[in-house]
Amino acid sequence: MTVELSSLRRSWFVLAVVFIADVMDAVDATIANLAGPSIRADLGGGESTLQWVLSAYTTAFAIGLITSGRLGDLAGRRRLFLLGLAGFTAASLACGLAPGAGFLITARVLQGLCGAILIPQGFALVKVVFPPHLLRKALIPFGPVMGLATVAGPILAGWLLHLNLFGGEWRSIFLINVPVGVLAWLLAWRFLPSRSGEDRAARLDLAGVGLLTLASALLIVPLVQGRELGWPLWTYLMLAGAVVALALFVASERRSPHPVIAPSLFGRRSFVVGLLITAGFFAGLSGFQLAFNLLLQLGLRWTPLHTSLTMIPWALGSAAAVALAGAVLTQRLGRATLHLGLGIAVVGLLALWWTIAHPGAGLTSWSFAPALLVIGFGTGLVFVPIFDFILGDATTEEVGTGAGMLNAVQQFAGALGVAALGTVFFARAGHASFNSASELVTALAAALFLITLLLVGLLPKHAR
């Protein structure tokens, strides 16, 4: 009995370490959003610098995430978790000490790759250390915590920028990861199991990974740099090359004995539709968050702290919706939970568009609050259950690969949203105003949410 209690206590420590790592990743994917203007003011660079600071992390994370599960089988999950956590912490230190914009962007790429190595190993380790009858209980908090961490990131960034702990305002948002990462690494070294169900027969499809990486780079680079450089010929050639590389990837996957993505998943309508839903939702969300943040800081000249406090209604709405979706709505309403959440989010975005277009006596935190509360509540209803419905008819063997692919698409869609909608924002701002640019991006985000709402009807009625 004593041995069993000791083993269970160790399992909860493993869960705590994985939670810390996942929250660090979720916050870092969004926290730089608020710090963008401060980074640019300190380090210089053009408008695309703001987009690269965000896109570099999420693109690298998405690309690395696709293969890191297989790497865990080959190299050992404990070893890769410790390596990824150490690399993530070191890259955070490099970000905080960056002497220039190029150095920072490179460090963000390394941070994203290390995060991609780290995160999948954590989930696999949790599955190993918990007995089956406690595993669901252990995993229940993941969805709500990750959703709230994503929303809370910009608010935390505002406080850190205001405190200006290490000079330059923005450096503390990266340096704070260092003590947290060191503590998590020591706990991981002490408590992670040495064996975690590796499959030594697993193999990497290097050709598939290379083609997918090439397609991603050919797509993101021209979207971020094209407008600032006047859309030279090479940007169009790169976009065309992305289509070719993606087609070659699909052909390679069909022939590969060890495909990156289980081919059977693409025979499931819910998964194919789910990829589009995931891409539309997270691209719209990331692009809108960037545009709204730029409106407040560059357009209205608000401080980072003022901006972060303005986002509190969003966080409150998300917190309430996440708790409600996890505890009540998903079981009672099924797939209609996603319809409800996306519908509410569209209403909130249109309300915000109206607020910006008709400022009346002026735009204030209070004038934004009702719309942000509604948007936060709507998106919060989607955060927790979306992947469960997309994988609702997948087999047990397909769920692991499918979930990894969906997470990768989520990250890549975020980078794509920042690149594409950020480009739209700066293009409109250059010809009109920040208010006009924000109106356009908000309307486009609402359109993307509406498309995903219509596609949800093709998902299974019940969550997995």
What is the token pair recorded at 6?
């000791």
For residues 67 and 82, what is the distance between their CA atoms, to the nearest angstrom? 17
What pLDDT digit, counting tens, does each position of 66-90 carry?
777 677 777 788 888 999 999 999 9
Burial of 164: CB neighbours in 10 Å, binned 0-12, 13-18, 19+: middle
For residues 380 and 345, what is the distance between their CA atoms, to the nearest angstrom? 9
What pLDDT digit, counting tens, does each position of 88-110 carry?
999 999 999 999 999 999 999 99
Superfamily of the domain at 1-194: MFS general substrate transporter like domains (1.20.1250.20)
Dihedral Cα 318, 321, 322, 323, nearest 10 deg = 130
Q: Give me the CATH code for the 265-464 domain, please.
A: 1.20.1250.20
Q: Cβ distance 412 to 54 under 8 Å?
A: no
Question: What tens-digit pLDDT sequence spans the chain (464 residues)?
Answer: 444 445 677 788 888 888 888 888 877 777 787 888 888 888 887 778 888 888 889 888 888 887 776 777 777 888 889 999 999 999 999 999 999 999 999 999 999 999 988 888 887 788 778 877 777 677 666 666 666 676 677 778 888 888 877 777 889 889 889 999 999 999 999 888 876 666 666 667 778 888 888 888 898 889 888 877 888 999 999 999 999 998 998 888 778 777 777 777 777 888 889 889 999 999 999 999 989 999 999 899 999 889 989 999 998 898 888 878 765 677 788 888 899 999 999 999 999 999 999 987 789 999 999 999 999 999 988 887 888 788 777 776 666 677 777 888 888 888 889 989 999 999 999 888 899 999 999 999 999 999 999 999 888 877 66
Per-residue burial over 13-38, b if 16 or more Cβ lie within 10 Å, else e, is: ebbebbbbbbbbbbbbbbbbbbbbbb
Same fold, 1-194 and 265-464: yes
Q: Under 8 Å CB-to-CB from 183, ≥6 apart: which residues?
A: 20
The ranges assigned to domains in the chain are: 1-194, 205-257, 265-464
Distances (CA, A) of 302 to 170, 224, 297, 298, 442: 15, 25, 5, 7, 19
Q: Under 8 Å CB-to-CB from 5, ≥6 apart: which residues?
A: none
Rounded to the nearest 5 percent, the helix, strand and coil shares of the chain are 85, 0, 15
pTM: 0.85
For residues 139 and 171, what is the distance between their CA atoms, to the nearest angstrom? 33
